[in-house]
């Protein structure tokens, strides 16, 4: 058995040499036609997808304010606080308001005395019926003024109209609030409220999005989960702070319980279709940003290396914005051995 070992070594060495020769022979010799695989340049419609990010809110939002103006005495909540329906959120200093109510009450008392005096004079046939009617009208006006003052006094406080989260606190104690001037912004949280991702997009993206477009939402709070969404609103003006436009995406969470202010990522599938040249991803060479190179051929014998402008990248395809006009075929395999003077053989 011992002589068999050297023989086996020799056989393995010869086999290795043959394998090495086979590998070397796979490299084309100078001037030899290079086998390549071609793919036709296609022009077709590609659906656009837009990536955007934003924060989660509820669809129902209230800008809470005082009915009357005055000095803010206190704001009892902060941004992000959860509040219950009926909870007092802010109040005005009551000194001026109480003084107004007291003044109107004195006017009512005076009007009552005037009416009683004119009534007595009328009964003694001293005052006329017109004077009595005027006195009665004055009394009614004073009473209505008192009702209005008392009503305004009740609305010198801001009360939460529904349970929810404080999204924005616009005023603090000591500031002067005008009638109807927003003090707090509240996001409602109830069974009838829908969750909305407010995403920022560019003006070009905004123009591609239409109400009803479908989207997929992912949140860092729920890793690995994708939630369906629909575009329900597009802002008609840009945000002055960053220049972006806002798009509302109504999200369906099923059994999950999100919270206001969560960060989310959206992939919006727009209905707009772009018609462009499309080539396999393997045909692209030396891509850098939106620029790349490809080998092309029209006669299936010679090749030419040309620059192209790249659009969107897909899993197995590349959108080419320009550079492939009137081009029939691109090389998708064998390009590693090609140059401008190469001749080719097409693999069928």
- 88-92 and 61-65 beta bridge pairing: unpaired
Distance CA 323, CA 120 (A): 103
Residues of the chain with pLDDT under 50: 1-15, 17-25
Distance CA 55, CA 173 (A): 28
Closest by Cα among 48, 54, 47 to 244: 54
> What is the structure's pLDDT at 60?
77
Residues 6+ apart with CB under 8 A from 217: 197, 226, 227, 228, 229, 249, 251, 264, 265, 266
Residues 6+ apart with CB under 8 A from 282: 332, 333
Distance CA 307, CA 293 (A): 4
Mark 123-138 as b/e (b = at least 16 C-beta within 10 Å).
Answer: eeeebeeeebeebeeb
- 157-159 and 42-58 beta bridge pairing: unpaired
> What is the structure's pLDDT at 219?
92
pLDDT tens digits for 231-262?
A: 999 988 888 777 889 899 999 887 787 877 88
Complete domains list, the chain, with CATH: 28-46+274-346 (2.40.420.20), 51-60+191-272 (2.40.30.170), 61-184 (2.40.50.100)
> What is the structure's pLDDT at 192?
57
- 157-159 and 88-92 beta bridge pairing: antiparallel
Closest by Cα among 270, 83, 234 to 166: 83
- 263-280 and 317-322 beta bridge pairing: antiparallel
Q: Is residue 309 a contact partner of residue 291, using CB atoms and an 8 Å limit?
A: yes
The token pair that represents 70 in the structure block = 């005055």
> What is the structure's pLDDT at 13?
45
For every residue of 205-258, DSSP letters joined together read HHHH--TT-EEEEEETTSTT--EEEEEEEE-SS--TTT-PEEEEEEE--TT---
């Amino acid at each position: 058995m011992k002589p068999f070992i050297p023989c086996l070594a020799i056989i393995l060495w010869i086999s290795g040499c043959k394998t090495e020769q086979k590998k070397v022979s796979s490299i084309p010799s100078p001037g030899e036609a290079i086998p390549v695989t071609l793919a036709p340049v296609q022009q077709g419609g590609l659906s656009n997808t837009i990536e955007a990010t934003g924060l989660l809110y509820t669809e129902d939002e209230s800008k809470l304010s005082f009915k009357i103006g005055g000095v803010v005495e206190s704001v009892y909540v902060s941004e992000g606080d959860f509040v219950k329906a009926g909870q007092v959120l802010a109040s005005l200093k009551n000194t001026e308001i109480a003084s107004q109510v007291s003044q109107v009450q004195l006017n009512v008392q005076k009007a009552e005395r005037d009416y009683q005096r004119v009534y007595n004079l009328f009964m003694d046939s001293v005052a006329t019926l017109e004077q009595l009617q005027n006195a009665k009208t004055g009394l009614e006006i004073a009473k209505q003024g008192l009702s209005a003052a008392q009503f305004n006094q009740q609305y010198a406080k801001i009360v939460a109209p529904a349970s929810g989260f404080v999204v924005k606190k616009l005023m603090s104690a000591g500031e002067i609030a005008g009638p109807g001037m927003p003090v707090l912004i509240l996001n409602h949280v109830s069974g009838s409220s829908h969750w909305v991702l407010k995403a920022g997009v560019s003006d070009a993206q905004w123009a591609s999005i239409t109400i009803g477009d479908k989207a997929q939402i992912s949140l860092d709070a729920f890793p690995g989960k994708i939630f369906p969404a629909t575009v329900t609103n597009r802002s008609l003006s840009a945000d002055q702070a960053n220049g972006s436009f806002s798009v509302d995406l109504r999200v369906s969470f099923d059994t999950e319980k999100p919270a206001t202010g969560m960060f989310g990522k959206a992939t919006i599938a727009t209905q707009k279709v772009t018609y462009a040249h499309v080539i396999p991803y393997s045909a692209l060479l030396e891509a850098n940003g939106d620029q790349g190179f490809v080998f092309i051929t029209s006669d299936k014998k010679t090749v030419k290396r040309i620059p192209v402008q790249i659009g969107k990248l897909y899993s197995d395809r590349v959108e080419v914005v320009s550079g492939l006009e009137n081009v029939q075929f691109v090389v998708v395999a064998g390009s590693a051995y090609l140059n401008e003077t190469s001749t080719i053989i097409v693999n069928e």
